[in-house]
Chain A
Amino acid sequence: MGVTRRQLLKFSGIGMLGAVIFAGCRIPDREFIAESPVLIPEDLVEGQDAYFATLARPSTGVESVLVRVMQGRAKKVEGNPDYPMSRGKHTAQAEASLQELYHPDRIATPLRRVGNRGSGQFESISWEDAIDELQSKLNEYSGNPGSVAMITEPLRGALGTVVNRFASNYGATQLAFEAVDQTVVRAAFKEMFNQDRLPIADVQNSHYVLSFGADFLSSWHAPLHYNWQYGEFRDTDSSKRGTLVQIEPRFSMTAANADTWVYINPGTEGVLALAIADVIVKEGLGDAAAMITLGDVIATHAQPLATAADVTGVSEAKILEMAHDFAGHQPGVAIGGGLAAAQTNGLFNMTAVYLLNALVDNVGKKGGILFNPDAPVKDLVSSAAASPLVDFQRLADRMRTNIPNGVNAVLVHGADPVYALPGGLQFGRAMMEHVQFIASFSNFMDETTAMADLVLPDQVPMEGWGDDVSDPGPGYESIALQQPVVMPFVDVRSFGDVLLATVEGLGGGMTRGLPWNTMKDAIRANAQELYKLNRGSIQQYPSFEEFWVGILQRGGWWDTKAKSKASTKAKIDKIPGNAVPSFSGSVAEYPYHLLPFMSHAMGDGRGAHLPWLQATPDPITTAVWSTWIELNPNTAKGLDVREGDILKVTSPKGSIEAQVYVNPAAPPKVVSIPMGQGHTEMGRYAKDIGSNVMSILDAVSDADTGALAWGATRVKLTLTGRRSRVPKFEGMVVPRLLDPVGEAGAGTPGGPLYKISNGKDHE
């Protein structure tokens, strides 16, 4: 049988169709995977990077970090996994130090003022001219050296040594400035335990933490280390999970994370601590020996339980519960600071709080309070306390006085007293009008630098040499090192190097105790001393150079066995100061108690110029880029205001404006405003944003230490009639499949947004 051409084509067509259909029945699996046929950039890019250990120095505390550097540019900050205070972790503030390095508004060269003081008119000059001018001014005033004031941040390590010796050789008046300092806590430890250095609470090993006002997870000293400890404290195994009780008049981030938050009337923390101590003694719950030693002091100062409950606003039942829990869950630790210390009776409060630790004999013990020993090198400053407010008051008074008792010159580094001192002091005005010569070593045009006649911009930590004796440390000797990880981005020099370069031209014994040409020389000389010890984290190296590389690689040196040998027994025969606080402003005229607090991201304002920190939501309100005032819902209702209304907040010393944020956790009769905003300088990201709450604080201080009582001003609120929306994260995300957060804080049925366990339901 023959096949026609038509049939051939037909069979071929059917066959081909069949083949296609047959093949189509088995499509390879991978054709259904919408895999990218090309590698995306994240797959492809591979540059040579390097990690260097150095320090970040945000206002919340020094952190040892590793910086990832690619092609000479710093790209990323990560916590140093070796250094005991960092443990591979870092804070948002340390991360933002990258933006400080590459900030568009950094001071790029030395500057000399050309316009009127404060006009912001400067000319660029060379470093040689700048140092010459500094030398000539210092020579000019050398006949009256006390008329030269050096204001720095509290300085530790080698820079502390250089600055202290420079000031003492010259005879200058030296002050250390910190807007929110630890003066009162230090004084309490000095009083009771003769300790100069800040101790560390061993939270990670505690079963029970009783915190009086110390916002240790956010802004109290060493928040990074305390956060790490808190992670260990909240052990995944709930049977070992510690309990945190936060006693504070404000609902802080630490209060939000506490198992129990106890509201207390501001400034009465000492009364509460003594009431707890009294219960422990009377019921014999404490350490037998300690109860005998401390029993009389406690009995003398403690108020009857009913009175204490009345004064503090904490119920008798709650006081008894806390006393039983604290004594019954040892090791436990009591810590105090923050608002509890920032009162006119701060030292009374802190002494009473830390006395609780002595009463249960947990000082120097695991899970209790650990002392920090001094660094084992004589040329390293281990502890640097801020000067109390009264010292700045005296300085401002001297500025207004004529020479010889007046002030000719101010040298300022790492401090912005014009912005951050309480407005009641009028410090900026005194400096502006009466001081002949102001030199600033700041790398940003802050409010103090804007008044300067000469600006000698410092390096940021990633550009220069430095070190730090961790304060507080981890309970043993620990020194962190800072090395340059990138070339200076602009024409800046390290503050220490400039001082060392200046001493040669000053003569008259200025080089005494300062044998180094640069900070690097000083730091290497100290490292030689460490090398000779031949102990600690880096030891048994055959040569110093290898040791030097070793400590630079690991970011420092520490010795876990080198602990404090100081006596852990409290020596105290009376509790200093007043039990009852006093406040600026009468209750009748100023009905609200103002509780300023350090901004979680920007601290006391030193981080306000960094856009990452401005845009970091406040943990509680989620507000950003603004100054807000937290009001209790009923207070807001009484004032007939809602979120976004702008209130005028007036204290006896001035007024500012702030946007209302109605905070369901805000207690009535107190209002909270974050620090950190309201800069009139500080570059494009900080200038003219929000208000500076420090400007309305009265210059009242703790009666015993003279430290600023920044929680002791009362205010009144008036409506301005204006309003604007609060920039905040809250409400930015509208959950479509969830109920808006409301009654139960939950999501749709069957779909919880979050779950709470009582810690027992899964065991």
Chain B
Amino acid sequence: MAVEHVERKWGMAVDADKCTGCQACVVSCQAENNIPLNESDHFLQRRAIQWIRIERYWEGEFPEVKARFVPMLCQHCENAPCEPVCPVFATYHNNEGLNVQVYNRCIGTRFCANNDPWNVRFFNFWEPVWPETLRNQLNSDVTVRSRGIMEKCSFCVQRIRRTIREVTREGREVVDGDVTPACVQSCPTNALVFGDLNDSDSEVDKLRKGGRQYRILDHLGTEPSVYYLSKVDPHAVTEEAHA
């Protein structure tokens, strides 16, 4: 099949100054992407699945104490270290900058998870189970992953595809704001912004050039597509103190 040349490169900006740690994105993602129910045991075994999660870091102790929230999801790297190690090409980079997981190719070697510095790839240790009634909620646009395969944030590829189909039907091009992954849509403070990094008019492109931007583990040279905007703390001594 010929590969369509697409100019888009999807990316996200995460404004840590706006993130309140409210977890709306986490639950929204679980609803959209048919993520298995995380039961108590899954947390105790450190096998809970959250495609997007809020990491909380402590600084100091009472009374001089701070908690910092960092939303963490697949960084959709340009040079993704998880991609070349897959023996069956179950994970690959598509022509829109997405790091894609093909569930029906995955054979569960977990090499990708081993090579993923952000810990954003999840292995299905169990067959996902929902009570019969709760299955009514499952999103029919998204595959339910079976036991033995990897899964991860897809930037809600099904929403991207749906939007492209819709705008094509309307006879127009995709414009900034047309595509919103579930986490971005729900985020009450607008801390998450999604868009085309190649579109210089897009909000995400402006934010990633705004001055506060950085990329997590940038020194690894993987070229993540997720840009973070630093938390603003008027009492912070210097930025370097945390680097």
- Interface set of A (CB-CB < 8 Å, partner B): 30, 33-38, 40-43, 45-47, 70-71, 73-79, 88-92, 95-96, 98-99, 101-104, 106, 217-218, 223-224, 227-228, 230-231, 234, 236, 238, 241, 243, 251, 253, 256-257, 259-261, 263, 489, 600-601, 611-617, 619-620, 622, 624-626, 632-633, 664-668, 689, 725, 727-738, 741, 744-748, 750-759, 761-763
Contact = CB atoms under 8 A, between A and B. Distances in A.
Nearest to B33: A42
A763 B185 CA distance: 30
B200 interface: no
Interface string B1-39: 111000000000001111011111011101110000111
B239 interface: yes
Contacts of B137: 73-75, 98-99, 101-102
A664 B237 CA distance: 21
Given A251-B65, A744-B242, A40 B230 contact: no
B235 A611 contact: no
Contacts of A236: 15, 207, 210, 229
A624 B42 CA distance: 11
B189 A234 contact: yes
B217 A747 contact: yes
Contacts of B54: 617, 619
Interface in B75-100: 83, 89, 92-95, 100
B236 A758 contact: yes
A36 B100 contact: yes
B58 A231 contact: no
A625 B40 contact: yes
A94 to B, nearest CB: 9
B92 to A, nearest CB: 4
Contact of A92 (B2, B24, B63): B24
A757 B230 contact: yes
Given A76-B32, A227-B20, A616-B23, A757 B102 contact: no
B217 A92 contact: no
Contacts of B138: 75
Contacts of B131: 104
Given A45-B141, A256-B67, A668-B62, A755 B231 contact: yes
Given A95-B31, A625-B40, A664-B58, A754 B165 contact: no
A761 B66 CA distance: 20
B46 interface: yes
Nearest to A761: B239
Contact of B56 (A228, A613, A620, A746): A620
Given A76-B182, A91-B188, A45 B62 contact: no
Interface on chain A toward B: helix, strand, loop, or mixed SS?
Answer: loop
Given A92-B28, A253-B21, A227 B140 contact: no
Interface of B: 1-3, 15-18, 20-24, 26-28, 30-32, 37-41, 43-44, 46, 48, 50, 53-63, 65-70, 72, 83, 89, 92-95, 100, 102-105, 117, 119, 131-143, 154, 157-158, 161-162, 165, 182, 185-191, 207, 210-212, 214, 216-220, 228-239, 241-243
A96 B24 CA distance: 10
A744 B56 CA distance: 14
A223 to B, nearest CB: 8
Contacts of B218: 751
A243 B215 CA distance: 26
B17 A729 contact: no
B22 A227 contact: yes
26 contacts: A40-B104, A42-B142, A42-B161, A46-B165, A89-B24, A90-B24, A104-B133, A238-B232, A600-B22, A611-B38, A615-B37, A615-B39, A617-B26, A624-B40, A625-B39, A626-B40, A725-B44, A728-B43, A729-B48, A729-B53, A730-B56, A752-B214, A757-B239, A758-B232, A758-B234, A758-B237
A243 B234 CA distance: 9
A616 B27 contact: yes
Contact of A727 (B31, B40, B142, B191): B40
Contacts of B187: 89
Contact of B65 (A77, A101, A664, A733): A664
Contacts of A730: 56
B190 A756 contact: no
Contacts of B117: 735-737
Contacts of A601: 23
B136 A102 contact: yes
A53 B157 CA distance: 25
Contact of A78 (B50, B61, B186, B238): B186
A43 to B, nearest CB: 5
A46 B234 CA distance: 49
B21 A257 contact: yes
Contact of A234 (B216, B219, B230, B232): B232
B39 A753 contact: no
A648 B233 CA distance: 39
Contact of A77 (B31, B105, B234): B31
B232 A757 contact: yes
B134 A103 contact: yes
B28 A95 contact: yes
A632 B92 contact: no
A624 B63 contact: no
Which of A228, A622, A759 has the most chain B CB within a 10 Å cutoff? Answer: A759
A572 to B, nearest CB: 33
Given A236-B15, A732-B48, A727 B65 contact: no
A745 B57 CA distance: 6
Contacts of B165: 46
Nearest to A45: B141
A745 B60 CA distance: 9
Contacts of A745: 57-59, 68, 242
B235 A619 contact: no
Contacts of B20: 217, 227, 230, 253, 257, 619
Nearest to A224: B188
A92 B23 contact: yes
A30 B2 CA distance: 8
Contacts of A241: 17, 232
A316 to B, nearest CB: 16
A611 B39 contact: yes
Contacts of B232: 234, 238, 241, 756-759
A44 to B, nearest CB: 9
Which of A40, A622, A761 has the most chain B CB within a 10 Å cutoff? Answer: A40
Contacts of B3: 30, 33, 35
B82 to A, nearest CB: 12
Given A90-B186, A625-B43, A757-B230, A752 B243 contact: yes
Given A42-B154, A612-B31, A729-B48, A754 B185 contact: no
Given A33-B3, A234-B18, A253-B22, A752 B27 contact: no
Contacts of A257: 20-21, 69
Given A76-B32, A732-B43, A745-B59, A35 B18 contact: no
Contacts of A754: 16, 57, 68, 70, 216, 228, 230-231, 242
Given A91-B188, A625-B39, A612 B27 contact: yes
Given A41-B143, A489-B136, 20 more contacts: A34-B83, A42-B154, A43-B161, A46-B162, A73-B136, A78-B186, A88-B185, A223-B22, A256-B21, A256-B67, A617-B26, A619-B23, A619-B54, A732-B43, A733-B55, A751-B216, A752-B242, A754-B230, A757-B230, A758-B233
Contact of A622 (B32, B56, B70, B83): B56
A428 B83 CA distance: 59
B62 A263 contact: yes
Contacts of A259: 233-235
Contact of B67 (A102, A231, A665, A750): A665
A95 B134 contact: no
Contacts of A79: 185-186, 188
Contact of A34 (B21, B40, B62, B89): B89
Nearest to B60: A664
